[in-house]
Each structure stands twice: as C-alpha cells, then as structure tokens.
Amino acid sequence: MARQASRLIRSLSSQLSPLSSLSSSSSSQFLTQSRAFSAAPAPQPTVFVDNNTLVICQGITGKNGTFHTEQAIEYGTKMVGGVTPKKGGTEHLGLPVFNSVAEAKAETKDNASVIYVPPPFAAAAIMEAMEAKLDLVVCITEGIPQHDMIGGTAEEDAAALIKESGTEKSIVAFIAGLTAPLGRHMGHAGAIVSGGKGMAQDKIKTLREAGVTVVESPAKIGAAMHDVFKQSGLLN
C-alpha cells in the first residue's frame, strides 16, 4: 500500500507543469500563495501516533490480520505483538502472540491496537482493548451486528444499575423509537415493542429518574454533554 502511494505521488508529480512554464503573473501569484501556505502553522493532529507508538494486532493470525501486519511492518510501524485467543505463547510474523490484550500490554507495553477480527467478535475485541486502557484503538471491520434496536429492557436495567451504583458521573443518553408502533417488528425479528415494556417513553422516564440527561435528537448529544460537564465543574 505504501509503495502504491509513493508511485502515485511520483506519477502525479511528473504530470505537473514546471514552474518556469507559468506566466510571470501566475508565477508570482503561485510563489506568494506558496509562501503564505508555508508560513501558516501546521494544524495539530487530533490523534497522536509517532515513532514511539507501540502497536499490537488483534486477530493477527487471520488472513486480514496477517496481511495488514506485514504491510505495517514494511511501512515502519512498531508492531510489537498480536492477540489471538488460544494461540498465546506462539509466534507469527516474528511477533509474539498472546491470548488477551491485557497479557500483550503487560509484556510489550503497547499503547495502540489495530483490530482485524470477524464481525461477530469485533465489538468484544474493541471493548477488550478499551478495558486494557490503550490510548488508541482502530477497527475497520464492516457489518458488526447491532444490538441497540428498539424494544427490550436494557435501558431500564441500565437506569437501575445507575441508581444502585450511586455514580456521580455525568451521563447523556438518546432513546430512539418514539414513533415506533406498538407490536410492530422493526429492523429485525427481535426488535419489537411489547405491551408494557420496551416503550421509548418509559425508557426516557426511567433514565431521567436515575439522573440521566436524555436528549431528543442525536444532534443534541454534544451540546448536552458540554452543558452537564460545565454543571459538574469539569469545564470552565
């Protein structure tokens, strides 16, 4: 992939007209713009990855994990190991393989993970990396099963847990399905609102009683989080 990108850049560069072929006015304008761009401060990256980033690959022994790990090593990424359950203690591509992210972190001191596992197991892999408190987790798996459909009592259960825990952490939620008709299947066979349970209005009421801030639209989540952080003294 890196070699292909380099060839593409060289190809595009060779097709550009040399600066000397520009008119004097165009040349002057080009140079002025170039100086302005070069003088402008470079934007700060939102995710910091550098030569000191130590990366593991979850699913390293699979087809995609093997391919991308090879590419990463060739590019210069500091790959320090991989994770494949039940294959801990072995080696793959010259890297140690561990049974869990926690084991890999304890041994390699990695602080980032790339995930190449099948859709049914991708969410669990992401959660495992988060629980190991890695700084960066990247997953490009497509088709991860959704478990946040309408219906069910998961939100009511979460509200009960919030109350029982006594947590002071600020929580913002959005509940979809306010317009879902009672008893109608939506999305998949399991997504159904049954009488007396799973209705969006009940979920919203229960969560608010547990101290959760509930918004009416996903677009309002960011602003709501900002407000509750200010109220909690986490922001000035």
pLDDT tens-digit profile of 74-129?
999 999 999 999 999 999 999 999 999 999 999 999 999 999 999 999 999 999 99
Residues 6+ positions from 218 with CB-CB distance below 8 Å: 174
Residue 74, sorted as left (phi over 0), alpha (psi -120 to 50) or beta, turns out to be alpha
Structure tokens at 107: 């041994």
Annotated domain spans of the chain:
55-139, 154-231
Alpha carbon 38 to its chain centroid, in Å, reads 32
Q: Whole-number mean pLDDT of the chain? A: 81
Residues 6+ positions from 208 with CB-CB distance below 8 Å: 214
**17-21, 48-52, 53-57, 224-228: least confident range:** 17-21
pLDDT, residue 233, reads: 84
Q: Is the pLDDT of residue 23 over 50?
A: no
State the average pLDDT over residues 148-170.
85
CA dihedral sign, ordered 147, 150, 153, 158: positive
3-state secondary structure of 65: helix
Contact yes or no for 191/220 (Cβ under 8 A): no
**17-31, 75-89, 161-175, 188-202: least confident range:** 17-31
pLDDT-based confidence at 152, cuts 50/70/90?
Answer: confident
pLDDT-based confidence at 22, cuts 50/70/90?
Answer: very low
pLDDT-based confidence at 151, cuts 50/70/90?
Answer: confident
Q: Which CATH topology does 55-139 take?
A: Rossmann fold (3.40.50)
3-state secondary structure of 211: coil
66-93 b/e with 16+ CB inside 10 Å = b? bebbeebeeeebebbbbbbeeeeeeebb
Q: What is the DSSP letter of 22?
A: S
Q: Which residues are catalytic?
A: 188
pTM (two decimals): 0.52
pLDDT tens-digit profile of 179-195?
766 665 555 444 445 55
Residue showing tokens 């509930």: 214
